[in-house]
Amino acid sequence: MRDSQKARNRFLDEADIPLESVLLFMAGMTLVITGALLFPISSGRLEYYQNGLYGLLLVIFALQIITMGKTPFGDMRRSILLLAAGVVIAIVGIATCFVTDLHTRLPRILLFIFFGPGGLLLLLQMLLAKDKYRTWKKYGGIFRQLILGCSLVYLLSMVIALLLWKQDLLSTNLTAVVVLLFGASVIYLAGVIWKIYGTYVDKKKPSGGRFDISTDNALILMTGIYMLVLGALLIPVNLGLLPFSGSAQLGLLMVLFAIQMLALGSTPLGQFPRSWLMIVLGLLVASLGIVSCIVPEVLVSLLTVLVGVLNILGGMTSIAKITIPMIRQSGQSREPQPPILKRLAVAQLTMSLLTILFGISMLISNLIPGLILGVILAANGCVLTYMFYLLVVLGNLEKGEVDDVSVQ
């Protein structure tokens, strides 16, 4: 009895996983699941949606750029230009996931550049930079594992680039083995970085760069981009001008949910402590999303209901959090709030209502015409992007970088 109680308590213990490890885990899981699925795909037992895989990988690269300033070619100083580059890559990735007949070579070319020249450049940086290979080797211990993990990832990424350039270079089964090894190496590196963060990195130390975005704000921006692209694409889709992958759309949304759960303990139903239980749930959600991106239609029914229910409950919870305190304080005298806080509350309330509408449309097909649903989703994306702007301004106010609290 005591052992089961200890195990249960351990399951609820805090698990502070850094964002860098979260995104590497997502990339590694994507590759491992892809490698495992390629075996039944090669025998014709499962269908394969290549655009879903390419788009998902591009979105993960975009998240690394937007949230941490980490590019496929090394760390860069956070700036508006770098943020814009991340947003463009995210849009390309999301559109690649959604549009089934997108025959452009752009996604494959981008991934080839990121994995090939990017992997080579990162390997050279590790070997030549004073604060990397030589320093890590001198420290020893976990840093030797960091050298091993980085070397494996950079070398195998160049092999993956060759497979992207010449897709018939290896048989499907051999390609699956290479992808599995690459994914396992990325997961190993994510674990090593997690351990180093927990032991050596000062969590209170601010990140470099004048243009700094918090993790939660960056994920709000990414969700806003997702909704904007989805809403914009649904208009030509419903006019019969574009083919559309509902499976990849749901899968990518689940992966974004999973990243929020792992990085912040944030779910559509609200904020929860970051525990081992949250990590397990986040990895489960990510697995469902990755499979849905790669294998069309197999999980559509399950994820449609799950996403619909979560959006409705999440929207209702958010409305309750906003309105209940206002009702309780309605008869009391309150200090006037800065206009920016009022705008943020209105934006949150609007987003919650649009989220509920989206959830209802998932559960009751044809309730909302496709064209109108596209407008609703695009509006949701606009509101999320506006919220991101307001939250960035509020963050600057707290730092004293903006003096006027009536920012428009």
Q: Is the per-residue pLDDT at 82 higher than 60?
A: yes
pLDDT, greater one: 364 or 395: 364
Could you tell me the pLDDT band of residue 341, with boundaries at 50, 70 and 90?
confident
pLDDT in tens, 205-243: 444 455 667 788 888 888 888 888 888 888 888 888 888
388-395, long-range: CB < 8 A, 24+ apart: 388/217, 388/220, 388/221, 388/224, 390/340, 390/343, 390/344, 390/347, 391/214, 391/217, 391/220, 391/344, 392/213, 392/217, 393/340, 394/340, 394/341, 394/344, 395/214, 395/217
Structure tokens at 21: 């490890």
Domain residue ranges of the chain, discontinuous segments joined by +: 11-294, 300-399
The neighbour count for residue 123, using CB atoms within 10 Å, is 18
The whole-angstrom separation of Cα 236 and Cα 200 is: 51
CA distance 209 to 207: 7
Overall average pLDDT of the 286-309 stretch: 90
- Residue 337's pLDDT is 66
Q: Which of 2-11, 107-116, 122-131, 204-213 has the highest mean pLDDT?
A: 107-116
Instruction: Tell me the average pLDDT across 33-44.
Output: 92
In degrees, to the nearest 5, what angle opens at C-alpha 233 toward C-alphas 300 and 68? 85
Residue 151 predicted with pLDDT over 50: yes
pTM given for the model: 0.88
Can you give the pLDDT at residue 320? 83
Q: What residues form DSSP beta bridges with 271?
A: 266
Average pLDDT over residues 340-355: 82
Segment 1-20, tens digit of pLDDT = 455 555 555 656 677 788 89
Give the dihedral sign, CA 215/291/146/85.
negative
Region 304-331: what's the mean pLDDT?
80
SS (H, E, C) 77-129: CCCHHHHHHHHHHHHHHHHHHHCCCCCCCHHHHHHHHHHHHHHHHHHHHHHHC
CB crowding 169-207: b at 16 or more within 10 Å, else e: eeeeeebbebbbbbbbbbbbbbbbbbebbeeeeeeeeee
By the 8 A CB rule, do 327 and 334 touch? Answer: no
What the block records as the tokens of 288 is 């469902």
The interaxial angle of helices 246-264 and 50-68, nearest 10 deg, is 30
Q: CA dihedral in degrees (242, 243, 248, 253; nearest 10)?
A: 30
At residue 407, the pLDDT reads: 43
pLDDT, average across residues 349-354: 85
Distance CA 343, CA 334 (A): 17
Q: Per-residue pLDDT averaged across 165-170, rounded?
A: 85
Residue 271 sits at φ, ψ, to 5 deg, of -90, 135
* pLDDT score, position 330: 61
* Least confident range of 86-90, 167-171, 404-408: 404-408
Backbone torsions φ then ψ of 267, nearest 5 degrees: -125, 170
Mean pLDDT of 171-186: 94
**Which helix (H) or strand (E) element contains residue 138?**
helix 133-139
**Res. 340 pLDDT band, cuts 50 70 90:** confident
